Structure 1
Amino acid sequence: MSPPPAALAPAAAEGAILLSPASTADLHEAALRRQAFFAVVLAAICIGFSAIFVRLADVGPAAVGFWRLVFALGPTIIWAVAEQRALERRAPRAPGTPRVLFTRRQLFISMMAGLFFGADLVAFHLGLAHTTTANALLIANLAVVIVMVIGWLALGERPSRGLLLALVLSLGGTVLIISRSAAAVPGDGVSVYGDVLCMAAAACYAGYMLMTRLVRRSGQSHGPALGGGMVSLIAASTAAIFCLVWAVAAGETLVPSSLQGLLAVVGLGLVAHATGQGLTTFALGRLQAGLISVVLLLQIVVGTSMAALLFGEIPSLMVAIGGAMVVAGIVVARPGKPQPR
């Protein structure tokens, strides 16, 4: 038997594993999924400040949503433009070929995502005015259940056992916090109205996530995926128009009357939406909607902690235990790092 070629001898002697193109592609995809996971964690932290900024704003509920989206449009436009330029470099158009930014189907689904998101903002901001910060955050995050069920039935994203365990841990933690928060709210009927609005917000946010996931997926049945920047731009523009129309029709105060109110809506636009929702939209192209919705429960911990520091809403021991369970669920949900084959 002849010896191996000189170029391969050292590798063979050391027992090195030569990766096939398929294995290299798998590792690259796994790396992208891990990046998307950590992007969602950062998104949850940013979105966790939403309720705090809303509390500090001095305009109407729908107007808060409008300004949030307006201040987020600048970074979103930059993202969409950079995304299109990168696409042009990867796949240059033939001379004379018109540039197609999106199909009619993609435009329709992205606009539907925007309508769902605008309705979510209005319902959540109205609900937050009639209940505690903890209650509002916890009930609104029941979107996890809706996303899991519809994502399974409509998108064919069957949840894994690990994800179901993460869901049990996370929802178990939210139940503990809800039970304590509900007991702290005076039983005058006002909080029930706020809770119902937050439930409606949860349903609307689930619709936003599923529509975004649908337009961000690629495959033979629905063509190339639409980039996260373009999806965010279309959805944010649609949601801004929705919120503005609602605010005008409801006769809300539209313009912030103080520096605090202005900084609050700017923070909502740049931190909660441009960064938080932008990272979520990016991740929806790589991860299941159900997994992302579980990780986003981390925003509950952030929001309730900030409410305790700023508004004196000190969490009880039960709330702390519930928060720990939420974090445990996030750890379980984390996608693992596959080994080379």
Structure 2
Amino acid sequence: MAPPPASVAMSTSLDAAVESVASSAMNEARLRRQAFLAVLLAAFCIGFSPVLVRYGDAGPAAIGFWRLFFALGPTALWAWAEHRAERRRFAASATPRPLPIRAYAFAALAGVFFGADLIAFHVGLANTSTANGVLLGNLAVVFVLIFGWLFLGERPSRGLLLALATALAGTLFIILSSAGHSHGAGPRAVSVFGDVLCVAAALFYAGYMLMTRVVRRAGSNGAAALGGGTAALIATVTGAVTCLIWAVATGEVLVPQSLQGLLAVVGLGIVAHATGQGLTTFALGRLPAGLISVVLLLQIVVGVTFAALLFGEIPSLMVIIGGTLVVAGVATARPGGRRA
């Protein structure tokens, strides 16, 4: 039998290439949708943080240490499973990817940033209201977008800027509604001190997110991205060491003083960190840091809601309007089927 004409073979090859590209695009869109759903769940889990910190009865940095300590087990299991999967892929590949040596240092630096974020946020939360702490701590979205644009080249699209403006407008509504109100925070000067520390915590958290984004995306030279479980484990260890050093140096109470305090730090470790931050780390390998930081504003709604239910911080009409705008901003930020 004679071979098919060259034109027919070329057409068949072109069709196969088009199908391959279409399949790859569909798979990427599916992975991005999964990452977006992961961030939504992460925001809900992290939103419990201020409530659980309130119930913790150890020092602020010590609470951060125990939070990371109890997250080590699940995070180590994730890293171990990821390592086994990588070994199987390398065994099936003739040319294994180069090891991201520098990425380990950046992952450790991300942990230092996260430890500093916990210290500043916990101390600040002890000196201001839960609502103020949650709101000001979420100013990280501004720092992430600015620094991500300047240092990672992740220029925000018009849609993302609109989402950011909408979400921040909602945040402004909530801040204005709680201005001048201090729920058990003490004098006005002390409340300002706590607010400033929460803003500093937002700056540190932005550094954590950007460092994690750096190690979670593949390099242009073909270097492999550091796995989410490995990156989370390294950051958790260095963050725990950072908190422990600060707690010992400042003479804090290191051990929870009651069963309630113990359960609070266990919840922080399992729910807020292992689940919430773990899902965030997973998503940072597939979505821009700026988009993720906008979606994480949903934790404001979660934190303020539980503060109202548990501590009597009843949200006003402005808070409800602000929360609605935050949700609208998140809906606007939702990634579509095509890559931004």
TM-score normalised per structure 2: 0.91
Query: What is residue 322 of structure 1 aligned with on the other side?
Result: 322
Query: What is residue 26 of structure 2 aligned with on the other side?
Result: 27
Instruction: Show CA shifts across 1:301-321 (max 9, x none).
Output: 000100100110000000010
One-letter amino acid of the structure 2 residue matched with residue 47 of structure 1: I
- Aligned ranges 1:149-160 → 2 under 5 Å: 149-160=146-157
By how many angstroms is 1:93 displaced? 7.3
Q: Which moved more, 1:214-223 or 1:61-70?
A: 214-223
Aligned equivalents of 2:315 and 2:199: distance in 1? 22
By how many angstroms is 1:24 displaced? 0.3
Aligned equivalents of 1:103 and 1:218: distance in 2? 9
Residues 1:308 and 1:270: Cα distance change in structure 2 (over 3 Å):
same
By how many angstroms is 1:19 displaced? 5.9
One-letter amino acid of the structure 1 residue matched with residue 279 of structure 2: L
By how many angstroms is 1:184 displaced? 1.4
One-letter amino acid of the structure 2 residue matched with residue 131 of structure 1: T
- Aligned ranges 1:242-261 → 2 under 5 Å: 242-261=242-261
Query: What is residue 236 of structure 1 aligned with on the other side?
Result: 236
Query: What is residue 125 of structure 2 aligned with on the other side?
Result: 128
Query: What is residue 309 of structure 2 aligned with on the other side?
Result: 309
Aligned equivalents of 1:107 and 1:157: distance in 2? 22
- Aligned ranges 1:32-111 → 2 under 5 Å: 32-92=31-91, 103-111=100-108
Residues 1:48 and 1:331: Cα distance change in structure 2 (over 3 Å):
same
- Aligned ranges 1:269-308 → 2 under 5 Å: 269-308=269-308
One-letter amino acid of the structure 2 residue matched with residue 284 of structure 1: L
Aligned equivalents of 1:321 and 1:222: distance in 2? 47
Residues 1:308 and 1:86: Cα distance change in structure 2 (over 3 Å):
same
Query: What is residue 332 of structure 1 aligned with on the other side?
Result: 332
Q: Which moved more, 1:99-108 or 1:114-123?
A: 99-108
By how many angstroms is 1:219 displaced? 2.9
One-letter amino acid of the structure 2 residue matched with residue 148 of structure 1: L
- Aligned ranges 1:134-283 → 2 under 5 Å: 134-185=131-182, 188-221=188-221, 223-283=223-283
- Give the 3-state SS of the residue equivalent to 2:22 in structure 1: helix
Instruction: Show CA shifts across 1:171-197 (max 9, x none).
Output: 000011011112213762111000100
Decide whether the 8 Å contact of 2:60 with 2:122 is kept in 1.
Answer: yes
Decide whether the 8 Å contact of 2:111 with 2:235 is kept in 1.
Answer: yes
Aligned equivalents of 1:92 and 1:83: distance in 2? 14
Structure 1's unaligned 5+ residue stretches are 1-16
Aligned equivalents of 1:81 and 1:100: distance in 2? 19
Structure 2's unaligned 5+ residue stretches are 1-15
Aligned equivalents of 2:234 and 2:17: distance in 1? 44
By how many angstroms is 1:91 displaced? 2.3
Q: How many residues in Structure 1 have an aligned counterpart in Structure 2? A: 321
Decide whether the 8 Å contact of 2:98 with 2:223 is kept in 1.
Answer: no
Aligned equivalents of 2:73 and 2:51: distance in 1? 22
Aligned equivalents of 1:183 and 1:88: distance in 2? 57
RMSD of aligned alpha carbons? 2.1
Residues 1:284 and 1:207: Cα distance change in structure 2 (over 3 Å):
same
By how many angstroms is 1:94 displaced? 8.4
TM-score normalised per structure 1: 0.90
One-letter amino acid of the structure 2 residue matched with residue 78 of structure 1: L
